[in-house]
C-alpha cells in the first residue's frame, strides 16, 4: 500500500500514518454546578495533565458561564432552515469547537446521561452548517467534525460499573456513537474514563483515578 | 394508591410530559392528538408542558448540595403528578439520539432520590420508588431513518427501556411510538403517523 494513502488526512486509513493522532489544541468542556466537587478536581487534573504534555488547552465551564441549555424557538426554527442562528453566547463556543482537534467532556453522570446543561450545549452548538450538513439529494447527514481526532469522556457515576453498562449509559452512547458519527468515525477515536460506584466512595480509588486522568491526558 | 376507576372502567391515569420549543412543531401536534384521544376515551390526563411552563432544566449548586435530602419543594407539581400517574407519556423530538436538554433537565431535577429511587444504607444500587407507573409511552420524532438511529446507538430509547424502567413498576411496559426520517418526510407520512398516534391512544386500555 502506498504510504501517501496512509498519511493523507482525508483517507479512511489516514490514522495509520504517523502523527495524525497527536493532539495540539484540546477543548475541555466542564459541566458541574459545584466548584469544590470531585468532578471539578478531576477536571483540574485533566487540564494539568494536558498542559504538562505541552498542549494549548481551551476550557469551557458551562455552569460558570451560566450557559442557557434550552434551544429557543427562534434557534429551533433556524435549525430547520439553511442558515443557523448563532446567538452571541455560543459564537465563541462554536469557534473553539471548530478549532480544536480533541473534544474532552468532563461531567457527573446523572440518570445515566449528560447533565441537561451539557446536553443543551450539544443541542445548541452542534447545529447544521456548523457540525454537519444535510445532503439535499440523499437526505443524509454529512458530518463536519473531521478536525477532531479524539473524543474523550471523563465522568463520575454513583452506580457500579456493571449497572452503568447494563443500563447502557446514555451519555457514553451519545458521545462515542452518535456524535462520533459526525466525524470520520474510523479516524476519530473515543476514549472513556469513568469513576464508578461513588454511592459508596473509596478514597484510595478516587486518588488513584485522579492520578490516572492526569497521566492519560498528558499522553493523549 | 387511589383505586377509583374512570368512566370507561379503567384505573389508568396518564401523565403527559411535552418538550419542544416551537409551538407548532410536528411532534407537539402528535402529543396534543394523543392527549385529545385519551380525554375523549374518558381517561384522566395531566399535562406538563415544560417549554410553555418555562421549566428551568439546570440543576444548580444549591440543589446539588441538598440532593441527599431529596427533590426540592418547588418541583412538587411534577413530583405529585409522577406519584399519581399509572402511565407516563413522553413527547419530545430526538436530538443527538436522545432527549432535548429541557427533558433531560426534568429528569435531572425531578427523577431524583426520594422520588424515583432511594438507596438502602450501605448499598450502591438504587431501589425503585415509582412502582405506580406500569407503562411508559414515547411519542418522538427522529430526523434520520431507523437504520441510521440504530447505527447511532439509540441512546434515548435505551435510556427509556433500561434506566427509566428500573425505577418504575416491576413489569413496566414501554410502547415506542416513533416517527423516523423526519428530514425527508412528506405530508402524507406525517398524516399517516398522526393516524397511528390516534389509534394508539384510542380505545380501551386496561
State pLDDT tens for residues B162-193: 989 989 999 999 999 999 999 889 999 999 99
Choose from B104, B108, B122, B130 for mutation: most chain A CBs within 10 A.
Answer: B104
pLDDT value at residue A133: 81
User: Is there a contact between B48 and B85 (Cβ–Cβ < 8 Å)?
Assistant: no
Which residue of A lies nearest to B162 if distances are taken between CA atoms? A167
**Can you read off the three cell numbers belonging to residue B60?**
444548580
Cβ atoms B159, A170 nearer than 8 A? yes
How far, CA to CA in Å, does B6 sit from each of A15, A53, B47, B100? 63, 66, 17, 33
What is the rounded CA–CA span in Å between residue A116 and residue A118? 5
Number of Cβ atoms within 10 Å of the Cβ of A164: 22
Q: Are B172 and B133 in contact (CB under 8 A)?
A: yes
End-to-end CA distance of chain A: 28
The answer to whether the Cβ–Cβ distance between B57 and A174 falls below 8 Å is no
**B102 in contact with A at a CB cutoff of 8 Å?**
yes
- Residue B150 in contact with residue B190, Cβ under 8 Å? no
Q: Is A136 helix (H, G, I), strand (E, B) or coil?
A: coil
CA A38 – CA A34 distance, rounded (Å)? 9
Please list every residue in chain B whose beta carbon sits closer than 8 Å to the beta carbon of residue A134.
183
Q: Do A149 and B131 form a contact (C-beta atoms < 8 A)?
A: no
DSSP 8-class letter at B114: T
Can you give the pLDDT at residue A8? 46
- Shortest distance, CA B175 to any CA of chain A (angstroms): 18
Cβ under 8 Å to B: A residues 84-143: 110-117, 119-120, 122-123, 126, 134, 139-141
Q: What is the DSSP letter of B64?
A: H
CA B110 to CA B125: how far, in whole Å? 19
**Run of H or E residues at B15:** strand B13-18
pLDDT of A17 higher than 60: no
Contact B21 A119 (CB under 8 A): no
**Given this model, what pLDDT does residue A137 score?**
77
- Contact yes or no for B98 and A72 at CB 8 A: no
Beta bridge partners, A66, equal none
Q: B96–A126: do the CB atoms touch at under 8 Å? A: yes
Confidence of residue A185 (pLDDT cuts 50, 70, 90): low
Cα–Cα nearest to A179, from A118, A136, A138: A118
Give the residues of chain B that fall short of pLDDT 50.
1-3
A40 neighbors A208 (Cβ within 8 angstroms) = no
Question: Looking only at Cα atoms, what is the longest distance across chain B?
Answer: 55
d(CA B99, CA B105): 9
Q: What ipTM, to 2 d.p.?
A: 0.91
Q: Which residues contact B150 (CB under 8 A, 6 or more apart)?
A: none
**Rounded CA separation A145/A156 (Å):** 26
Neighbours of B28 (CB within 10 A): 23
- Given this model, what pLDDT does residue B89 score? 97
- DSSP, collapsed to helix, strand or coil, labels residue B141 as strand
Chain mean pLDDT for chain A: 86
Contact check, Cβ <8 Å, A179/B96 = yes
Backbone angles phi, psi at A123, to 5 degrees: -55, -45
A73 contact B CB<8A: yes
CB A91 within 8 A of CB B83: no
Q: Rounded to a whole number, what is the distance in Å from the CA of A184 to chain B's nearest CA?
A: 13
Please check the confidence at residue A19 and state whether its pLDDT lies above 70.
no
Phi-psi region of B25 (alpha: psi -120 to 50; beta: other; left: phi over 0): beta
Helices (H), A24-129: 38-52, 73-80, 88-99, 116-125
| Pick from B64, B97, B143: CB nearest A33 | B64
In the predicted structure, residue A6 carries a pLDDT above the cut 60: no
Residue B126 β-bridge partners: B119
Q: What is the pLDDT of residue B176?
A: 95
- At B164, list the grid cell: 427509566
- Give the chain B residue whose CA is nearest to the CA of A120: B101
- Taking only the tens place, the pLDDT of each residue in A99-124 is 999 999 999 999 999 999 999 999 99
Of B65, B122, B125, the CB nearest to A159: B125
Cell of A196: 464508578
Look up residue A170 and give its three cell numbers.
Answer: 446514555
Cβ distance A168 to A108 under 8 Å? no
Element (H, E) at B139: strand B135-141
Give me the sheet containing B135-141, strands edge to edge. B44-49, B13-18, B87-93, B135-141, B173-179
Q: Which residues pair with A128 in a beta bridge?
A: A132
Nearest to A112 among B102, B153, B159 (CB): B159
Amino acid at each position: 500500500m502506498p504510504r501517501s494513502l496512509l498519511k493523507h488526512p482525508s483517507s479512511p486509513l489516514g490514522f495509520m500514518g504517523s502523527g495524525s493522532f497527536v493532539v495540539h489544541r484540546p477543548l475541555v468542556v466542564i459541566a458541574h454546578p459545584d466548584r469544590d466537587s470531585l468532578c471539578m478536581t478531576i477536571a483540574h487534573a485533566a487540564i494539568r495533565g494536558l498542559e504538562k504534555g505541552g498542549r494549548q488547552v481551551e476550557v469551557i465551564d458551562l455552569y460558570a458561564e451560566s450557559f442557557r441549555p434550552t434551544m429557543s424557538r427562534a434557534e429551533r426554527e433556524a435549525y430547520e432552515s439553511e442558515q443557523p442562528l448563532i446567538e452571541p453566547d455560543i459564537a465563541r463556543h462554536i469557534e473553539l469547537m471548530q478549532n480544536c482537534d480533541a473534544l474532552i467532556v468532563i461531567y457527573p453522570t446523572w440518570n445515566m446521561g449528560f447533565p441537561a446543561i451539557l446536553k443543551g450545549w450539544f443541542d445548541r452548538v452542534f447545529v447544521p452548517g456548523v457540525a454537519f450538513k444535510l445532503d439535499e439529494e440523499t437526505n443524509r447527514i454529512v458530518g463536519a467534525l473531521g478536525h477532531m481526532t479524539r473524543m474523550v469522556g471523563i465522568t463520575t457515576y454513583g452506580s457500579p460499573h456493571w449497572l452503568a453498562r447494563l443500563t447502557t449509559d446514555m451519555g457514553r452512547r451519545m458521545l462515542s456513537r452518535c456524535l462520533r458519527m459526525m466525524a470520520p468515525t474510523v479516524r476519530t477515536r473515543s476514549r472513556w474514563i469513568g469513576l464508578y460506584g461513588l454511592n459508596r466512595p473509596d478514597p484510595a480509588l478516587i486518588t488513584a483515578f485522579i492520578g490516572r486522568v492526569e497521566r492519560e491526558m498528558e499522553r493523549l | 394508591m387511589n383505586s377509583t376507576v374512570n368512566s370507561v372502567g379503567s384505573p389508568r391515569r396518564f401523565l403527559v410530559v411535552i418538550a419542544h420549543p416551537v409551538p407548532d412543531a410536528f411532534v407537539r401536534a402528535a402529543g396534543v392528538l394523543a392527549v385529545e384521544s385519551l380525554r375523549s376515551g374518558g381517561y384522566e390526563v395531566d399535562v406538563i408542558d415544560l417549554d410553555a411552563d418555562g421549566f428551568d432544566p439546570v440543576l444548580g449548586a444549591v440543589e446539588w448540595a441538598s440532593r441527599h435530602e431529596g427533590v426540592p419543594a418547588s418541583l412538587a407539581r411534577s413530583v405529585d403528578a409522577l406519584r399519581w400517574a399509572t402511565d407516563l407519556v413522553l413527547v419530545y423530538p430526538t436530538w443527538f439520539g436522545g432527549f432535548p436538554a429541557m427533558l433531560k433537565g426534568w429528569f435531572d431535577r425531578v427523577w431524583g432520590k426520594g422520588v424515583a429511587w432511594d438507596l438502602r444504607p450501605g448499598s450502591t444500587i438504587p431501589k425503585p420508588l415509582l412502582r405506580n407507573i406500569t407503562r411508559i409511552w414515547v411519542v418522538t420524532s427522529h430526523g434520520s431513518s431507523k437504520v441510521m438511529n440504530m447505527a447511532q446507538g439509540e441512546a434515548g430509547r435505551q435510556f427509556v427501556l433500561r434506566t427509566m424502567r428500573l425505577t418504575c413498576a416491576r413489569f413496566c411496559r414501554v410502547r415506542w411510538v416513533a416517527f423516523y426520517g423526519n428530514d425527508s418526510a412528506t405530508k402524507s407520512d406525517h398524516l399517516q403517523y398522526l393516524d397511528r398516534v390516534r389509534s394508539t391512544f384510542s380505545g380501551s386500555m386496561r
